[in-house]
Structure 1
Amino acid sequence: MSIAILSIHRGGPGEAPRRDVFEVPFEAGQSVLDGLRWVREHTDPGLAMRYACLNANACKECMMRLDGAVIYACTARLEAREMRLDPLPNKPLLRDLVTAIAPPDERPPDAA
């Protein structure tokens, strides 16, 4: 069986960032979001990521960086190699792969 290796940024504001590496069973056609959901279900339920729909590319909740390029995790394809996942640049980090994506005037008063 082939595997995908996800190297994922971990931590939140005020914490030293770290990387955790997970081996995920790989099947052709899977999305990066499928791999992240597998990690949360089978290995680390504390992994913070955001998504609202699957494979629709309409909500934009699952935006993150893959090997430095901004992608939608629901449409980017998982590959049988090491893939580096990071939060969006230039956005306030909430935790792990989650950033504050709403414009400041649309956020609740207590949100980052």
Structure 2
Amino acid sequence: METARLLIRRGTAAEPPRHEAFEVPFEPGQSVLDALRRIRAEQDPTLAVRYACLNANACKECMMLLDGAVVYACTARLEPREMRLDPLPNKRLLRDLATVIAPPDERLE
């Protein structure tokens, strides 16, 4: 069985950047978000990632960097290779891949 290896940025903004590797079984048509949800369910429930819908590209919550390019994790396709995931660089980092997406005037405090 083929696998995808995800190098995921972990930690908070106060910590030095580090990446952890996770391997997941590759299935054609699977999204990066599917793989992240599988990692949370089966390998590391502490992985922080934002999403509000599945494969709809409507909420914009799952935006991140995939190999340096901005993508929606729900529409980016998983590939049987090493893929590097980082949080958006222009947003405030909460933890791991989770950043503050909504502008300050749209957030509930």
Provide TM-score, normalisation by structure 2: 0.96
Amino acid at match of 1:60: K
Cα offset, 1:15, TM superposition:
1.2
Cα offset, 1:63, TM superposition:
0.5
Unaligned runs of 5+ in 2: none
Q: What CA distance in whole angstroms lies between the structure 1 residues aligned with 2:34 and 2:90? A: 25
Unaligned runs of 5+ in 1: none
2:81 is aligned to 81
The 5 Å alignment of 1:66-77 reads 66-77=66-77
Instruction: Indicate the larger mover: 34-43 or 98-107.
Output: 98-107
The 5 Å alignment of 1:31-42 reads 31-42=31-42
1:101 is aligned to 101
Provide, for residues 51-110 of structure 1, a one-character-per-residue CA deviation record: whole Å limited to 9, x for no partner.
11111000111000000000000000000000000001111100000111111222244x
Q: What CA distance in whole angstroms lies between the structure 2 residues aligned with 1:57 and 1:71? A: 10
The 5 Å alignment of 1:38-49 reads 38-49=38-49
Provide TM-score, normalisation by structure 1: 0.94
Q: What CA distance in whole angstroms lies between the structure 2 residues aligned with 1:25 and 1:95? A: 25
Classify the secondary structure of the residue corresponding to 1:27. coil
1:20 is aligned to 20
